[in-house]
Structure 1
C-alpha cells in the first residue's frame, strides 16, 4: 500500500488540521483515494489509521469506525452524488459518536467535545487520540496458526492483524507501520496459498526483519519524542552517547544528539513519504564518522556500514549497552550561577549532564530525566528571583549530597543487574535489604526484592520505556528527594 494512501486517510478522515482546509478539500481527497485504490485497499488503510489513533479501542469499535468511513465514501464519492453528501454524512458520524451508547472508540475527552456543535464538534472529535502503547504486547501467530486463520477467513485474518499490529506501533511514522503491516499480510497470503510451505514462511520472515526492526525502533524513538519533546529528547541522546562512549568529547556528542533530535522531530510526524529510513541512514553515517575512532564497539558496528547496510549498522549501535569499564575522569567545572541564567544556559546544562552521564555510565536515563526536570524548576525560580545568587546559595548546597546519592544508588543497582546473573542479582538485593532492615519479616524483604528486580529488568537498559521507568523513578525519588532538593549542585 502506498504511503500516500494512508496520508490522505489520516489527514482527511482523522485530522482536525485537514478540516480547517475546508469540506471540499476533504471530500475531494477522500473520494480521489477511494476511486484510485478501490474499496478493499481503502478499507485496509482505514483500519491501520484508526487502530493507530485509537490504540485502546476494541476490534469491534475499530471495525465500526471503518464501516462508517467506507460507507460515507461509497455513498458520497460516485459521479452525480449530492455535493452536500460528504458534509452531511460526516456531521451525522460525529453526532453518532456522541450518542449514548456509542458503537465507536471511547475516550475521556468525548464528553467535552459533544458539548459543542457542528464544525467545532467535528474538530474536537478529530483531535482526540488514545495514548500510545509504550510496550508492544501483540505476539504474531506461529506459521501453522497464521495459515489456518488465513485459509479459514482471509479477510478476517487481515483485519485482525492490521488492527493488532497498528495499535502496538502507533507512535511509529505512519508509512513505516503501513509498509510493515501490509508486508506481513502479503507474506502470509503468498506462503499459505502455495501449499503452506514452512521454508517460504521462514525465509520471508528473515527478509522482512529489517522492516520489523525499523518499525520497532522508530516506534520507541518517536514515543520518546512524543513524551519528552525536542529539548529533553536531545538530552536523552546526550546521555546515551555519553554512557556508551564516555571517551567522546562534548561537542561531538552534542552535534550527534542535536542531529538525532532534529531527525525524529521531522520523521516522526512524516505522513507524506517514508523518509525515516533515509534520514536514519544519514544519521548513522555521522555517528560512524564521529565515534568509530573513540570506541571500538562503535567501530565494530560501523564495519558493516556500506551503502546497503546502514540500517544494520544503526541496529547494532542502538543495541549497544553501557560501557563495561568507564574511564577514570578528572573533576569537571560545574556551571556557575551566571551560566545557568544567561541566554546560553541550555548548553551549560547539557554539558553538565554529559559530564555526569560519562561518570555514572549505568545510571538509568529516567533518573537523569527526573533530576533534569526538577532542576529546571529551581533554575527558573532562582533566575527570576530578585537575588539569584542568594537563591542559588541557599538551594544548590542542599542538592549536592542527595543528587549524587541517587546517582550512586542508581548506578550501583544497574551495574549489578548488568554484570550479574539474574539469580545472583536478586540474592545480592536480598543481602542488602537484610543489612538495611535486619528486623524485617522475610515476606517484606521478598516483596522489596521483587519490586526492585522488576524495576531493574525493565529500566536498567539503554532505550528503556520512558513512561514506565519515569514513573517508577519519580516514585522512588519522592521518598528521598524533596521538590526543592533535586537540582544542579
Structure 2
C-alpha cells in the first residue's frame, strides 16, 4: 500500500516507513499496551517525518503539514501521496535471474518485487494488485523449486496472463481517472471514441463515454468494493452492442473480455470519413448557463473530422476556445463579442489542426529518421532566418513531442506540458 501511495519513493525509503509502521503496530496492539501507546507512537512518527534528515519517502507537501501540530499534522501527513508514474519502470527479469535472486534471499526478493510491481501499478484497485502479486510470488516459489522450471514458468505465466493484463489495464484506466476526474475523463473518452469510430452516432459515443467513466468512478480507488473485472467486462459488452457495424470493433469483440478491452483500448484512430462541413455553435448556445456542453459537442465533431489529431492537441484547443467563450459570455454584449471572434477562431482552429495533423500525420506515415529529415526541411523553409543549429534543436524538440504524444493513449499530464511548451500555433484571446 505504501509503494502505491508513494510511487516515486526509493525501495529504502519504503522499507524504513514499513518497518516503522509494523513496529508501531507490534508495540501498540499488544495486550499490555497502554491506552495512549498509539497516539504517542504516531506523534513520534510525525515528528520523525518532519525531520529534514527523515529516512521516509520525500514529498513536496510535507513542509506544509509540518507547520501544524498534533492530530492536524498527523492527518495531513497521512493524506499525502505522490502522483502515479506515467512511464512505468518495472521490467521483469529472466527466469534464471528471478530464481537466482529468490534462492539467494527469498524474503528480500519478495519484498522488492512487491515494491516495484505496486509502485508501477499504483492505481490498480487493491484487490487486483494483491491477487496479482500473490499469483506471481506463488509462481516463483513453485517454479524455482521445481526440477522442470522452464516448463513450469511457461505454464504458470500463461495461467496468470489474464490477471496481469487486468492489472495493467485497470492501472492505465484508473490513472486516467485519477488525472482527469470524472467530467474531464468523460470528455476524453468521447474524443477517443469519436476518433476510433467516426461513423458512430455522436449520441451513442456520449452514452458509452458516460458508462465507461461511471465504471471507473465505481471501481477505482484504494478501498473500492466493486469488482473492476466485472465492471470492465460489462463496459466492453456495451461497446460491442453500440458499435456492431464497425469492423475493427467487431474483431475486438470476438476476444475474451479482458483481451477485447486491450484490443479496443489499443485500437488506433480510424481513417477520416466524409462528413458535412462543421459550423461553430451559435452565440446563444455557447453562452448557455451551466457546463459548456455545446463546445464539448463541437470538439467531438471536430475530432470525428480530424481523427489523426491526438487528444492532447484537441484538449489544448478546447481549453483555449473555452477561455475565449467564457470571456465573451461574461461581457454585456456576448453575441457581438463572439461574432467578432468567430472569424479569428475559425482561422486559428484551421492553423492549429493543420500544424498538429502535419506533425502527427508525418510521424505516423514515415520511419522516424525520414520523419525527422522532413521536419528539418519544413522548419528550414518556414523559418529561413534561423541558424541550422537552431533549426536542428527545434526539429529535435518536435520529434520528441511527436514520438511521445502523437500516439493513441498518450500520457496526459506529460503531453499537456509538452504541447503547452512547444512552439506551435496557439489561440489568442
**Fold shared, TM-score > 0.5 on shorter chain:** yes
TM-score for the superposition, normalised by structure 1: 0.83
Contact 1:175 1:274 in 2 (8 A): no
- Is 1:480 aligned to residue 421 of structure 2? no
1:95 alignment counterpart: 47
**Deviation for aligned residue 1:160:** 0.9
2:412 alignment counterpart: 466
**Deviation for aligned residue 1:196:** 6.3
CA distance in 2, matches of 1:59, 1:100: 19
2:34 alignment counterpart: 82
Equivalent residues in 2 for 1:88-167 (5 A)?
Answer: 88-167=40-119
Equivalent residues in 2 for 1:279-358 (5 A)?
Answer: 279-293=231-245, 295-304=246-255, 309-323=256-270, 325-343=271-289, 346-358=292-304
Query: Measured at CA, do residues 345 and 333 of structure 1 come closer, stay the same or move farther in structure 2, by a change above 3 Å?
Result: farther
1:43 alignment counterpart: none
**Deviation for aligned residue 1:321:** 0.2
**Deviation for aligned residue 1:286:** 0.5
**Deviation for aligned residue 1:345:** 5.2
**Deviation for aligned residue 1:396:** 3.2
**Deviation for aligned residue 1:348:** 1.5
CA RMSD of aligned residues (A): 1.9
CA distance in 2, matches of 1:214, 1:435: 48
| Paired residue secondary structure (1:356) | helix
CA distance in 2, matches of 1:322, 1:226: 24
1:178 alignment counterpart: 130
Write out per-residue CA displacement over residues 330-356 of structure 1, whole angstroms, 9 at most, x where no aligned residue. Answer: 113421111112246533222201110
Equivalent residues in 2 for 1:389-404 (5 A)?
Answer: 389-404=335-350
CA distance in 1, matches of 2:85, 2:313: 21
**Deviation for aligned residue 1:408:** 1.7
Equivalent residues in 2 for 1:153-232 (5 A)?
Answer: 153-195=105-147, 197-232=149-184
Contact 2:283 2:339 in 1 (8 A): no
Write out per-residue CA displacement over residues 408-448 of structure 1, whole angstroms, 9 at most, x where no aligned residue. Answer: 22122222222323333223323323332456554444333
Runs (5+) with no aligned partner, structure 2: none
| Paired residue secondary structure (2:31) | coil
Runs (5+) with no aligned partner, structure 1: 1-48, 485-489
1:56 alignment counterpart: 8
CA distance in 1, matches of 2:359, 2:425: 16
Aligned residues: 429
Query: Measured at CA, do residues 76 and 483 of structure 1 come closer, stay the same or move farther in structure 2, by a change above 3 Å?
Result: farther
CA distance in 1, matches of 2:76, 2:290: 39
Contact 2:321 2:427 in 1 (8 A): no
Contact 2:218 2:226 in 1 (8 A): no
**Deviation for aligned residue 1:173:** 2.1
| Paired residue secondary structure (1:297) | helix
